[in-house]
A and B are shown apart, each in its own frame.
Chain A
Amino acid sequence: MDTRRKLEVLADAAKYDASCASSGSKSTRRGSRLGSTEGMGICHSYTPDGRCVSLLKLLLTNYCVYDCKFCVNRVSSDTPRARFTVAEVIDLTVEFYRRNYIEGLFLSSGIVGSIDGTMEQLVAVARGLREGHGFGGYIHLKLIPGASAELVAEAGRWADRLSANIELPTAQDLHQLAPEKTRADITGTMTTVADGIAERAADRKAGLKAPVFAPAGQSTQMVVGATPTTDGVILGTADELYRTQKLRRVYYSAYSPTPHADARLPALRPPLLREHRLYQADWLLRFYGFEVSEVVAPGANLALDVDPKLAWALANRDRFPVDVNAAPRELLLRIPGVGVRNVERILAVRRHHALTVADLRALRVNWKSAAPFVLTGDHNPALRKLDTVGLKKSVQPTLFDDLDGYA
């Protein structure tokens, strides 16, 4: 099989992986002869599915002995198979990089032979790029859960980011749909990475010149919609991972019908809007100081018709209106339509003069959402308005605004 055909098969097989970002590495590796990681988060292209192409996202092989039901590469799927050599992946990465098509490589693999044998191959690609080509671009390696700690440690030396997929929000879901994977193996591998990162940070704090270890941290991915598990449980799992494993990102991937899907899975269009709401809720947890329990109850799902921040405001009307000239930062962050950056700007402006509606408009806050919830010198939404039944309708952005008429 020629390289081009392999590329076709192995990029196609990798596209269901949600992570694509190349962000998180703060500086370029010393001594690199080709590539840098200073342009954090550069997306070199976008596909019509609205996702960015930042990394060359490939599988080393899509042969796999596992039978995870949601995965197009599971052993029982009749998808076409291919296998790259280590040299082929290195070559493609370098040549694509030289033309400025990509920020680096995202490499994953089906599991063949043994767990460590597969992991070794992934590590060999990263090592070859760094040592053989002085490659300083971004590398994200997917870890095979259960791989030996030595291999994970070596992966951390060459890669910017590591990730082991949690796959599904609960251990029962995993047991049902990915029978060969165990939560213990997955979290064990995550812990090895978290320990490696913590160890390096401690060494550096002590003034030692510690070798790099996954400078862009670790992330994970969860398939959403393949089981009936609720958003409350999903976000609970994510929150726990952020806290215990210090993950940088949790990616949510709406279960997408694959060309060779298992019949027990929903042959539906992927729940994209739900995925979008999960990302919004996740954002609230990480940057807005929300607790999971404020965003959604464990047994419930996020509302699809309003974003989670607006939903919280509507459910907590007694906390509003918020006086933008007096409220503390935490409260400003809770106003619908006002983002983190604008909160900082409001705080800066109000040190010098009181804000008016014109000021908020000049900051381009989403006035339609924000108006009933804020109080300025010249704007006092009658409390009556906050109590109206129709409020939700009047502040709600057009449904599917950001989904381009999909759904």
Chain B
Amino acid sequence: MIVTAPDFAAWRGAARALLAAEVSPADVLFDDGTAPGLFAAAELPPVPAGPALEVPRAFVALAESVSCHRDPQRWGRLYRALWRLTRGEPHLLDLATDDDVAWLFRAEKSVRRDAHKMKAFVRFRKVGEHFVAWHRPDHRIVRRVAPFFRRRFPEMHWSVLTPDDSVTWDREGLHFGPGVSARDAPPPDVLEDMWKTYYRATFNPARIKLKAMKKELPVRHWATLPEAALIPDLLAEAADRVAAMVQHSEGTPSAADFLPATRDLDGLRAAARDCTACGLCGPIVPPVFGTGPADARIALVGDQPDTSGAADELLDTALEEAGIDRAAVYRTTAVKQTAFAERDGAREPRRANAREVGACRPWLLAELAALRPAVIVCLGPLAAKAVLGPLFRFTERRGEVLPAGGTIAIATHFPATILRAPEEARAEIWAELVTHLARALELAGAGYHPPSHYSSRVPY
């Protein structure tokens, strides 16, 4: 007999009646209404009164899902499974290798995957205050997936249009309607360009895996995904972009490459002569390494070699005022050569940049490690960051005694700051500098144990 089953509810009613009348699966043909039937549908036998047959809950869920599948076989397959479940094979669904069960599982998987893709690949476009999407699913899943979008976008007024069905949420209820052809899809909205910008930027041309991509983003969906239009271009550019990346490894070489095996002060000084890490030094302007006694208790770190001598002079005065014997301190800098900038044809000293400071830092750290002073005095923010790490906040923390790689450091003003400071501030800066230096002297004698909770933050 032929039974019409356009949807799940109709099939379910029919299946109940057929089962009760003991109509074997071999004797029934389900017509799902997608193609005009050759024969008229038969009258269903009446459903006898009494409790409905019990089937495993898992079967109901499976049947609901499989009913969305496009294959006309689905109703027959489901009925046969139902028949077997209720006739001596209650464990049928455990038998994943059975032909009927395997077919149903595959159909269920196909529907599940399609529903998943719909949740992912629907692209709303804003039309006035209304968000509209056109999507082409493989199966008839609009009713199955619509509640997901309702839960996700409760405050939006939206519609999803597909060739078979459409659904609209008006902030109160879901309304289902007829299919809509691709011609009636909404036009792109302004945000689509932003999305494409994002898509382009997030792609790494060094890692092309096209097969993996196509597996997850089936080409048949590309037409409704705005970003898919970029793919051919992205692929075409990729090889060149990678080549450029590899070539452009211009890099920031580091002095670490030049560190010698023996790292005493003389060894370091000798090896530094070859350093070309940041380009400030060269055969004519070799690195200016630190000077002073190798057993100095105090090491002073400035930013870069003083070309004018003015800063050094001021420092000498400050040391004297603080009561420090200037012959007993070791003086060095964060960067071992002075940086220059061209301005209006003239060369003038400039501040070293982060790249140069970073490149030269291994010398400074090796130098301090070889020296093991009792106290490091950092003169100015640049030197302080080189010693205490890039997050050191000079304005807030200068004058504090801080642990630094097994010893202690204190940051204070760079003497030359005084020359640039406004008249009224000079006295104060000077007083601070002298106080900090005096504190360093005191610490150099006292021996000091840094609080342990700091130690994990020390950068070297």
Stretch at the interface among B28-36, B45-53, B230-238, B421-429: B230-238
Query: Interface of chain A, helix or strand or loop or mixed?
Result: loop
- Complex interface bits, A141-176 against B, C-beta within 8 A gives 1, otherwise 0: 000001000000000000000000000000000000
Residue of A nearest to B247 (CB): A267
Asked if residues B210 and A404 are in contact (CB atoms below 8 Å), the reply is yes
Instruction: Check A49 against B97 for contact (C-beta < 8 Å).
Output: no
B251 A65 Cβ-Cβ under 8 A = no
Contact yes or no, A11 B198, CB < 8 A: yes
Contact B207 A402 (CB under 8 A): no
Find chain B residues with CB under 8 A from A315 CB. Answer: none
Encoded as 1 (CB less than 8 Å from any B CB) or 0, chain A from 35 to 47 comes to 1101100111111
Q: Looking at the complex, which one of B197, B355, B456 makes contact with A76 (CB distance below 8 Å)?
A: B355
Within the assembled complex, what's the spacing in Å between the Cα atoms of A33 and B245?
43
The verdict on A204 contacting chain B, using a C-beta distance below 8 Å, is no
A265 to B91, CA, bound (A): 59
A310 to B140, alpha carbons, bound, how many Å? 40
Query: Bound complex: CA of A46 vs CA of B207, how far in Å?
Result: 13
- Over the window 127-162 of chain B, the binary record of Cβ atoms lying under 8 Å from chain A Cβ atoms (1 yes, 0 no) is 000010100000000000000100111111000000
CB pair A34 B209 closer than 8 Å: no
A40–B450 Cα distance when bound, in Å, is: 49
Q: Which residues of A contact B209 (CB under 8 A)?
A: 48-51, 272, 402-404, 406
Q: Is the CB of A99 within 8 A of B191?
A: yes
Tell me if A57 and B389 are in contact (CB < 8 A). no
Indicate whether B184 reaches chain A with its CB closer than 8 angstroms: no
Q: Which of B151, B207, B235 is the one whose CB lies under 8 Å from A28? A: B151
The residue in A38, A100, A115, A265 that gathers the most chain B C-beta atoms within 10 A of its C-beta is A100
Contacting A at CB under 8 A, from B191-221, are 191, 193-195, 197-213, 216-217
Instruction: With CB as the reference atom, state the residue of chain B lying closest to A96.
Output: B195
* Of B66-74, B113-121, B265-273, B441-449, the one touching chain A: B113-121
Most-contacted residue by chain B among A48, A96, A146, A264 (CB, 10 A): A48
**Which residues of A are found within 8 Å of B87, using beta-carbon distances?**
none
Whether B153 and A34, one on each chain, are in contact in the complex, defined by CB atoms closer than 8 angstroms, is yes
Q: How far is the CB of B167 from chain A (nearest CB, A)?
A: 14
A263 to B242, CA, bound (A): 16
CA distance A39 to B121 in the complex (A): 13
Q: Which residues of A contact B295 (CB under 8 A)?
A: none
Task: Determine the distance from Cα of A75 to Cα of B254 in the docked complex, in whole angstroms.
Answer: 13
CB–CB A146/B457 < 8 A: yes
With an 8 A cutoff between CB atoms, is A188 at the interface? yes
Contact A52:B194 (CB < 8 A) given known A182-B457, A349-B97:
no
In the complex, chain B residues whose CB is within 8 Å of the CB of A75: 354-355, 358, 390
Which residues of A are found within 8 Å of B252, using beta-carbon distances? 76-77, 262-263
Interface SS of B by simple majority: helix
Residues from chain B with Cβ under 8 Å of A56 in the complex = 198
B251 engages A349 (CB within 8 Å): no
Contact call B202/A47, Cβ cutoff below 8 A? yes
Contact of B216 (CB < 8 Å), options: A36, A46, A351, A405: A46
Closest to B252 in A: A76
| Interface range on chain A (Cβ under 8 Å from partner) | 35 or more
Chain A residues whose C-beta falls within 8 Å of the C-beta of B42 in the assembled complex: none
User: Number of residue pairs across A and B with beta carbons under 8 Å?
Assistant: 242
Inter-chain contact A257/B246, CB cutoff 8 Å: yes
User: Which residues of the other chain, A, contact B231 by a CB distance below 8 angstroms?
Assistant: 48
With contacts A46-B217, A352-B91 taken as known, whether A14 is within 8 angstroms of B123 at the C-beta atoms is no
B244 close to chain A: CB less than 8 A: yes
Write out the residue numbers on chain A whose beta carbons fall within 8 Å of the beta carbon of B251.
260-264
Q: Quick one: given A47-B202, A179-B460, A272-B207, are A351 and B94 in contact (CB under 8 Å)?
A: yes
CA distance A403 to B212 in the complex (A): 8
Q: Which residues of A contact B199 (CB under 8 A)?
A: 45, 47, 53
Tell me if B124 and A99 are in contact (CB < 8 A).
yes
Interface residues of A in 258-291 (CB under 8 A from B): 258-265, 267-270, 272
Contacts of A330 in B (CB 8 A): none
A261-B251, A351-B94 known; A47 and B198 CB under 8 Å? no
In the complex, A36 Cα to B148 Cα: how many Å?
9
Residues of B within 8 A of A101 (CB): 123, 195
Bound: A250/B426 CA distance, A: 54
Q: Which residues of chain A are near B460, meaning CB under 8 Å?
A: 179
How distant is B118 from chain A, measured CB to nearest CB, in Å? 10
- State in angstroms the CA–CA spacing of A76 and B250 once bound together: 11
Contact A76 B358 (CB under 8 A): yes
User: Bound complex: CA of A66 vs CA of B354, how far in Å?
Assistant: 10
Q: Is B257 an interface residue (CB 8 A)?
A: yes
* A8–B197 CB distance below 8 A: yes
Given A35-B152, A53-B199, A264-B254, A65 and B391 touching (CB < 8 A)?
A: yes
Minimum CB–CB distance from A17 to chain B (whole Å) comes to: 10
Give CA–CA (A349, B244) in the complex, Å: 56
- Compute how far the CA of A349 lies from the CA of B93 in the bound complex, rounded to whole angstroms: 9
Q: Mark B342-360, 1 if CB is under 8 A from A, else 0.
A: 0000000000001100110
**A15 B201 Cβ-Cβ under 8 A:** yes
Does residue B249 face the partner (Cβ distance < 8 Å to A)? yes
- The residues of A that contact B102 with a CB separation of less than 8 Å are 362
Q: Is A95 an interface residue (CB 8 A)?
A: yes
Residue A12 interfacial (CB < 8 Å)? yes
Q: Given the complex, which residues of B lie within 8 Å of A272, measured CB to CB? A: 207, 209
A257:B198 contact, CB within 8 angstroms: no
Taking a contact as CB atoms under 8 Å apart, the answer to whether A48 and B203 are in contact is yes
Contacts of A33 in B (CB 8 A): 154-155
For residue B331, CB closer than 8 A to chain A, the reply is no
Given A67-B354, A359-B97, A402-B209; 5 other pairs, CB 8 A cutoff: A49-B205, A75-B354, A256-B207, A349-B96, A406-B209
5 contacts between A and B (CB under 8 A): A33-B154, A256-B207, A259-B244, A261-B248, A404-B212
